[in-house]
Amino acid sequence: MSDYRAADGHDNEPGLSLLSVQPRSGAIHYAVRRYTAGGVYEDGYATQDLIYDTLSRDDLNTLRAEFGLSDSVIFNDITVRTRQNDDTFANFNARVIGPVLDKRDAAFWRSVVFRLINLEAL
């Protein structure tokens, strides 16, 4: 069973609310560890895509509001409960980036992706 949740702001686990439309998610892609003569460092940051195959206009607007997004706010810092790579759910701080919308059929948007970046486990 899906248990994707979101709350405005970082470190806001008490505010986590169930997303009105549950996505499917891709794997969490972690930063690449680089080994150099000067030492070891992380290159990049953890990311994950929350994928919706089809959304109505109302569902899209509701999700944008749940993520703290709007026409003028294209990214927001949130606390999110999402699926990890081992299929368990956990809470993270993240920045959500709103979708670029380009595939519309009548009243529905297709292939809508909200990207989570800078995932940090809580």
Residue 1 has pLDDT above 60, yes or no: no
Percent of the chain with pLDDT over 90: 68
How far apart, in whole angstroms, are the C-alpha atoms of residue 62 and residue 79? Answer: 17
What CATH code is assigned to 5-121? 2.40.30
Percent of the chain with pLDDT over 70: 93
How far apart, in whole angstroms, are the C-alpha atoms of residue 41 and residue 55? Answer: 39
Residue 58: band (very low, low, confident or very high) from pLDDT cuts 50, 70, 90 = very high
Range with the poorest average pLDDT among 28-37, 67-76, 90-99 = 28-37
Are 121 and 99 a contacting pair, CB within 8 Å?
no
Task: Quote the pTM value.
Answer: 0.86
Residue 112: band (very low, low, confident or very high) from pLDDT cuts 50, 70, 90 = very high
Are 78 and 67 a contacting pair, CB within 8 Å?
yes
Mean pLDDT of the chain: 90
How far apart, in whole angstroms, are the C-alpha atoms of residue 35 and residue 7? Answer: 36
Residue spans per domain, the chain: 5-121
